[in-house]
Amino acid sequence: MAAPDIKPHVDAITAALTGAGLTVGDGGAPASIPATGIYAVLYFDPGRSVSESLADQRTDFHLSFQVTLVGPTAEKVRWASQRLRDALHGPLTVAGRNAWRPEEDGGPPVQRDDDVSPPLYYLPVQYRLQSTA
């Protein structure tokens, strides 16, 4: 049996966020920032193959990721955080896998970035996703 693949997990998460009306970038701002100025940036770790039992069949997969929400005001970032929570509340459809519901690990409060002009607000939120064959 082949090792679990990260790509279907990334695709499922990206599809859930875009389905909730969020514009998404992978590892950086999306190529086109929407007129609202609100977007999400996904950051993924490489994931881990995990034994499903003492037989050491590594068919389970654990993936940690961060969604950083960005917007022109703190209120708009909080609005985006609710879209994010709604999008990842239920189980995701991961091609060829059975996935648990994503677990929200939280993050710091909304922060203001004064290093850009005009200033932007952002909120990084950590999640974990697990799946099995």
Query: Can you give the pLDDT of all 133 residues of the chain as single tens digits?
Result: 778 899 999 999 999 999 999 999 999 999 999 999 999 999 999 999 876 666 667 789 999 999 999 999 999 999 999 999 999 999 999 999 999 999 999 999 999 999 999 999 999 999 999 999 8
Q: Does residue 1 sit within a domain?
A: no
Question: How distant, in Å, are the alpha carbons of 17, 48, 59, 61, 85 from that of 89?
Answer: 11, 22, 24, 19, 6
The angle formed by the CA atoms of residues 66, 6 and 56, to the nearest 5 degrees, is 115
Tell me which H or E stretch contains 13: helix 7-19
What total number of domains does the chain contain? 1
The angle formed by the CA atoms of residues 131, 132 and 133, to the nearest 5 degrees, is 135
Q: Which of 130, 131, 111, 133 is nearest to 121 (CA)?
A: 111
Q: What is the DSSP string of 18-38?
A: HHTT--EEESS--SS--TT--
Q: Does residue 108 sit within a domain?
A: yes
Q: Does residue 99 sit within a domain?
A: yes
Q: Does residue 2 sit within a domain?
A: no
Q: Does residue 24 sit within a domain?
A: yes
| pTM of the predicted model as reported, rounded to 2 decimal places | 0.92
Domain span holding position 97 = 7-132
Domain at 103, CATH number:
3.30.2000.10
Q: Does residue 98 sit within a domain?
A: yes
Q: Does residue 42 sit within a domain?
A: yes
Instruction: Determine how many CB atoms are found less than 10 A away from the CB of residue 14.
Output: 16
